[in-house]
Structure 1
């Protein structure tokens, strides 16, 4: 259920690749590292994992996550917790005539988390741009 006092970041992008290929890039640890961050992700509902980047002042670079939803080839959702932000990231894949439409939504930004909200808007645009490059190299 969505909290009416929170906001969501939504990024949608069409990829000229089949959903099976996009799904692999979203769910295989070595591919996730290429477009998102270092990780210990495993495609198991309920499994906790971490996304890691280089630490910066006032942040250790760790995002604590847990797989929430796995609907192979269609939907992947996981929690995203860091610096007081408790949110959920959901990827929904839809096959199109030209490939795959990806709808990414990160929910749970409170009104006092404006910086995190703006950062996520920027970050997900960049991450999905990197995902496009990774998909061109995936068999």
Structure 2
């Protein structure tokens, strides 16, 4: 390995929550476009929970990046596992809006009294993605509990 390879580190964000809802109900919240927009705060365009389908999110642009997050569903095992790519940014940007090529994975497990939901957002290349890693670490810790809140609202 050369010095640049040694200095680049891949990191992942992990959030683990248990919700008092059945896996089927959490699954619906995770994989229904209108519900996704409520817990994530971004509306997915052209979303379908089918492997190979592509969709986008829009966020604040920065520098040469237009704010589009390109996604592709990689895995959709009903009530168990949902994964998609999350790509955005621009190679000319540093900090917010730097090139990002990551994977978001949700794993659901039935537990006594509900569902354990594990989120892993992996593939952050440090130091290039330091800003995204820091911002999204805090963001996912706020967003994941909202999945339970939206699910609870839908059950009423």
- State the TM-score, normalizing by the size of structure 1: 0.90
The alignment yields a C-alpha RMSD, in angstroms, of 1.5
Match of 2:144 in 1: 128
Q: Does 1:104 align with 2:119?
A: yes
Match of 2:4 in 1: none
Any stretches of 5+ residues in structure 2 without a counterpart? 1-7, 90-98
Q: Does 1:35 align with 2:51?
A: no
Which moves more between the two structures, 44-53 or 101-110?
44-53
Shift in Å, 1:98: 1.4
Q: Please tell me whether Structure 1 or Structure 2 has the larger radius of gyration of its CA atoms.
A: 2
2:26–2:148 Cα contact (<8 Å) kept: no
Match of 2:17 in 1: 13
Aligned-partner SS, 1:110: strand
Shift in Å, 1:97: 0.6
Aligned-partner SS, 1:21: helix
Shift in Å, 1:44: 1.1
Structure-2 change in CA distance of 1:136 and 1:107 (3 Å): same
Any stretches of 5+ residues in structure 1 without a counterpart? none
Structure-2 change in CA distance of 1:67 and 1:111 (3 Å): same
Aligned residues: 135
